[in-house]
Chain A
Amino acid sequence: MSSWFQVFSKTSAYLLGLVWVLPLLYAFWAAFHPPEYATQFSLTAPLTMENFASAWEQAPFFRYMLNTIVITTLILVSQLFLCTLAGYALAREKFAGRGFAFALVLTQLMVMPEVLIVENYRTLAGLELVDTYLGVGLPYLASAFGIFLLRQTFKTVPQELEDAARVEGLSGLGIIWKVFVPLAFPTYLAFSLVSVSYHWNNFLWPLVVTNTEASRPLTVGMAIFGAPESGVDWSVISAGTLIAIGPLLILFLIFQKRFIQSFMHAGIK
């Protein structure tokens, strides 16, 4: 009975995995073969790098990539910094209204960012930040999810460790940096992965707030590049997609074990 169940659950897991990975496999197929093979499968189809070359020429991918990297880094660094301080305060500092402040943060978790697009655009237009890196990043510079996650992790740090550091002469910020941050490292890694993959792939907000190559990230660039009115060439689009997701994919494959451990440790699913 249980062995049947195991076989069943294993088979379904592999099946689901296969369905999930199919688009990616197709993208690899189409990108490395001439356009005439984009919709037919043949083992003898010739391999080619042409699609990558033409995709690279047709759109300023380098600039898009740079934009995405800068925006994602800006958001990540600022999130880690702000969430650490906020998480520590909510976990360990006793101040009036702490419970209320934490409730506000939790409430914010329930608000879909898309709801705020119009209002955020108005704010950013008022600040004259439209079509800048800061403009794309600003709504995301702090993360309720990150604050929540770090608060929970910091709460598990034994009080005696903090006391010991304090007796040894560390300042408040020193304790955060030397004790809390290293102890919460798996949480930082897991959160960073979630954050980077979210903002690397974020589409709607950058589409609204960017106008030119100056700040347009890969996702928006890809969409314009592959827009139906410019004629759909699946092979070139697949090549472009691979260029776009490449760095993230490689990063994940290298650190796969580490990431999965961190997720298990941080309890994120």
Chain B
Amino acid sequence: MLKVEGISRRYGDLTVVDKLSFTVNEGEFVALLGPSGCGKSTSLKMIAGLEMPDEGAIELDGRDITQLSPGERKLAMVFQSYALFPHLKVEENIIFGLQARKVSKDEQKRRLDSVVELVGLGDHLQKKPGQLSGGQCQRVALARAIVAQAKLCLMDEPLSNLDAKLRNEMRTEIRALQQRLGMSVIYVTHDQVEAMSMADRIVLMNDGKIEQIDVPKALYNNPQTIFTAQFIGSPPMNIIGSGKNRLGIRPEHIEISDKGMPANVVSCDYHGADTIVLADVGAAGEDQKLVKIRYPGHAMFEAQQRLLIRWDSGNEHRFPN
């Protein structure tokens, strides 16, 4: 449905987005994931029309929209700061776009009612955004995006201003809404948990380029690059060895056993359900080579305690380059 073909954005000598290409299918939830400064927000702005790509094309339903103004693209967008108009009531904020596009009053009312029910804002319609909590503001922003019934909804880190508990709730809620309404969504985030738990497919970006596009499971199980391997999963994948012999092994795949590779405990970090053990696998006299081991349950090893660790060779990852 949406086709992004080789778009780039440069500021002077700095290339922020470098020949980015990907597609979004009807009803699909695609996450644009990457560390801050990787160009994901700029990419989203180019799709929204708020920034113009220096090269490349963007197609929506087979129509080239690269040169269209943001309004002409008829997309919906949820902003990180919610971007609610402080001088308008919640109700007016939600139908702001419908008024701008001169949708009939009856239709406005009908859509407002149904969307208010969807996101649960019934009691707050007459309030100003300043009187709402962060979570409620987020709902208003969502409602404004849904009410537009746009072909594609863009979300720019919409949950990053919420506290952890609310973030988890909203994550589930947004995903449920998206599936119920069959919305096509591009969701920008730097939080791999958000991307992994919500998205149908993830576009992982680094330094303006695409590292890998895949479904969450494949991204986790078959990372194509070391960057992907270390970005997805927490704690990140251990990379052992160098050059052609580099191999990756996830902390949760390492077992503490009675035979295998010797490792000296450096420290333990207890998380409740499991303990992250930091250990040194470098031979005596060599530089430290640290690995993280996820140990189920509570385990407080002494520093310098000697352990033996092993893993199934099926869980090893190799990287082509």
Contacts and interface: CB of A to CB of B under 8 A. Distances in A.
B241 to A, nearest CB: 46
A65 B59 CA distance: 63
Nearest to B79: A160
Interface string B69-82: 11111111101110
B78 to A, nearest CB: 9
Interface stretch (B28-36, B96-104, B172-180, B202-210): B96-104
B83 A174 contact: no
A140 to B, nearest CB: 29
A166 B70 contact: yes
Nearest to A182: B87
Given A169-B71, A169-B74, A170-B71, A164 B83 contact: yes
A163 B71 contact: no
Interface in A144-193: 158, 160-161, 163-171, 174, 178-179, 182-183, 185
B50 interface: yes
Contacts of A167: 48-50, 70-71, 73, 75-77, 97
A165 B79 CA distance: 11
Nearest to A179: B85
Interface in B228-286: none
Contacts of A183: 85-87
B139 to A, nearest CB: 16
Contacts of A166: 49-50, 69-71
Contacts of B88: 182
A169 B79 contact: no
B4 interface: no
B96 A163 contact: no
B86 A170 contact: no
B100 A169 contact: yes
A169 B147 CA distance: 14
B148 interface: yes
Contact of A174 (B72, B73, B85, B100): B100
Interface in B176-221: none
Contacts of A174: 100
A170 B100 CA distance: 6
Nearest to A183: B87
Contacts of A169: 70-72, 74, 97, 100-101
Contacts of A168: 71, 96-97, 100-101, 144, 148
B307 to A, nearest CB: 51
Nearest to A163: B50
A65 to B, nearest CB: 35
A163 B79 contact: yes
A159 to B, nearest CB: 9
Nearest to A170: B100
Given A163-B50, A164-B77, A171 B71 contact: yes
A160 B83 contact: yes
B159 to A, nearest CB: 15
A171 B48 CA distance: 15
A202 B31 CA distance: 62
A160 B45 CA distance: 11
A158 B83 contact: yes
Interface in B39-81: 45, 48-50, 69-77, 79-81
A163 B85 contact: no
A104 to B, nearest CB: 28
A36 to B, nearest CB: 57
A167 B69 CA distance: 8
A180 to B, nearest CB: 11
A40 to B, nearest CB: 55
A166 B79 CA distance: 13
Contacts of B49: 166-167
A158 B80 CA distance: 12
Contacts of B71: 166-171
B100 A158 contact: no
Interface in B134-189: 144, 148
**Taking each of A160, A171, A178, A179, which has the highest tally of chain B beta carbons within 10 Å of its own beta carbon?**
A160
Contacts of A161: 83, 85
Contacts of A160: 79-81, 83
A75 B120 CA distance: 48
7 contacts: A163-B48, A166-B70, A167-B76, A167-B97, A168-B144, A169-B74, A171-B71
Given A160-B83, A166-B71, A185-B87, 11 more contacts: A158-B83, A161-B85, A163-B79, A164-B83, A166-B49, A167-B75, A169-B70, A169-B97, A169-B100, A170-B100, A179-B85
| Shortest beta-carbon contacts, A-B, top 7 | A168-B97, A169-B71, A164-B83, A160-B83, A182-B87, A166-B70, A169-B100
